[in-house]
Amino acid sequence: MSTENLTHIHLPVELQQSISSEIANYYSIIPKEIAENAHVFYIDDTRVPEQDTIIQELNLILDKAITLEPVNALTIKKTLSIYYRNDSDNSRLVSYKNDFLEDLIFEAKNINASDIHIEVYENEARVRLRIDGHLIEKNHIKKENYLELINQIKIKSNLDITEKRLPQDGRIEYDDFDIRVSILPTHHGEKVVMRILGRDASHLDINKLGLEKDDVQLYLEAVKKTNGIVLISGPTGSGKTTTLYATLKYLNDIKRNIVTVEDPIEYTLKGINQVQLKENIGLTFTSALRSFLRQDPDIIMLGEIRDAQTAQMAIRASLTGHLVLSTIHTNSAIGTISRLTDMGVPSFLIAETLNISVAQRLVRILCESCKKETEFRSLVLPRSFKTDIKISSHHIPIGCSECHYTGYRGRRAIYEILPITLDVAEAIKNNSIKQANFIKNERLSDKAFDLLLKGYTSLEEIYPLLINL
């Protein structure tokens, strides 16, 4: 097998599990063949002068005959980054090194992955992790290993292992985080998505979300009101829930009764009464909100306004002296007004009850270790995006071991703020909000473009935001 031109070496799960991450990274080796009495490893070609010593040490550690085959150093480095992540906090992984599922879960948790995807095809299955909003392939597993893995997941999440025809939802609980499990029957078998839910809310701070100073002031003025509705909009995975939790943490004190209904409960906040949505037994956002009004609440948080009935209940709660916080799926702060109108909420009630509309997105930030400056051509900008700013260069992602060859490290939130002032309220009543420019400070597209100008992100990352003006 030639590996000189490979970006990385494909490693089946049985080979990957033959050595630990510590051994692989310490000796810069990748398993090639594992026999009963002999092991063959690829080794970083820059370590060839040490190979006699490495063979002796591996022989002692593994009690097998060892053969080493030199491979391009970059190939080894990238393969190690993909299959043997050398994380700073891998102490939780060590005790579970003989269990593939546990290793997978704790590795995903340690590298801040939000989801684990296990998908099956005709002859094999694959595992992918969602990091910074994008899926990266972890490894491939044999079909028979996949079947065993699915059963392990079902047992851990208290699901029916005999049911393979219908979707199932479950939960796996650990000391400091939970896993929400969703199983969906597909053509070749069951697909599993495991969402990692952290319980620690200590890092949530409304001043550290990414809101600019003026935006923070406008937002706090809206959430300090004793009644009305605060709506956060954006697509799935844009950080809306994090903004809501930071807001609840800010508002949480002994004088207020705060109740929430969520799907799922992502953080546990002391002093707040949190309810998990259970639609299969009739506990919906609407029914929960109806019950909340009899619980003498000051602040109500709904995980999402999904339909007309929930929207009308939220309006009613705000009119009776409660502050309601929620999320809604729209593309912009002004788009929230249209969405509520489409749900059948009268314009005058929107104007009367809405305190502020916020739209947000998460933008991936370029890895400082490998980003590259290159010439900028204005023709690559969307035709709908107009700017007077002249750009001579911009930065593009390259990929290195520091960013696991994605070119990006971390994400930053950007916000679009629409406070409901008297002028805005009048425009809503007259159904002329679309024609007016009431967005305070900058729009999402402007803030995304500013990140490009400062070298924090790439054009490919913000291109969709420049189109959705």
Residue 446 burial by Cβ neighbours in a 10 Å radius (0-12, 13-18, 19+): middle
Measured between alpha carbons, how far is 248 from 347 in angstroms, rounded to an integer?
28
Residue 440 burial by Cβ neighbours in a 10 Å radius (0-12, 13-18, 19+): middle
- What is the per-residue pLDDT across 335-385, written as a single tens digit (0 to 9) for each? 999 999 999 999 999 999 999 999 999 999 999 989 999 988 766 788 778
Range among 37-41, 140-144, 216-220, 268-272 rated most confident: 216-220
Confidence check: pLDDT of 444 > 80: yes
Structural domains in the chain plus CATH codes: 13-83 (3.30.300.160), 100-198 (3.30.450.90), 213-467 (3.40.50.300)
- What is the per-residue pLDDT across 277-296, written as a single tens digit (0 to 9) for each? 888 888 888 888 889 989 99
DSSP one-letter string for 150-208: HHHHHHHTT--TT--SS-EEEEEE-SSEEEEEEEEEETTEEEEEEEEEE---TT--GGG
Furthest C-alpha separation in the chain: 82
Q: What is the chain's mean pLDDT, rounded?
A: 87
Of the candidates 84, 200, 89, 97, the residue with the CA atom closest to the CA atom of residue 139: 84
Region 28-45: mean pLDDT is 90
User: Strands 258-262 and 273-276, how do they pair?
Assistant: parallel
- What is the per-residue pLDDT across 132-159, written as a single tens digit (0 to 9) for each? 888 888 888 888 888 889 999 999 999 9
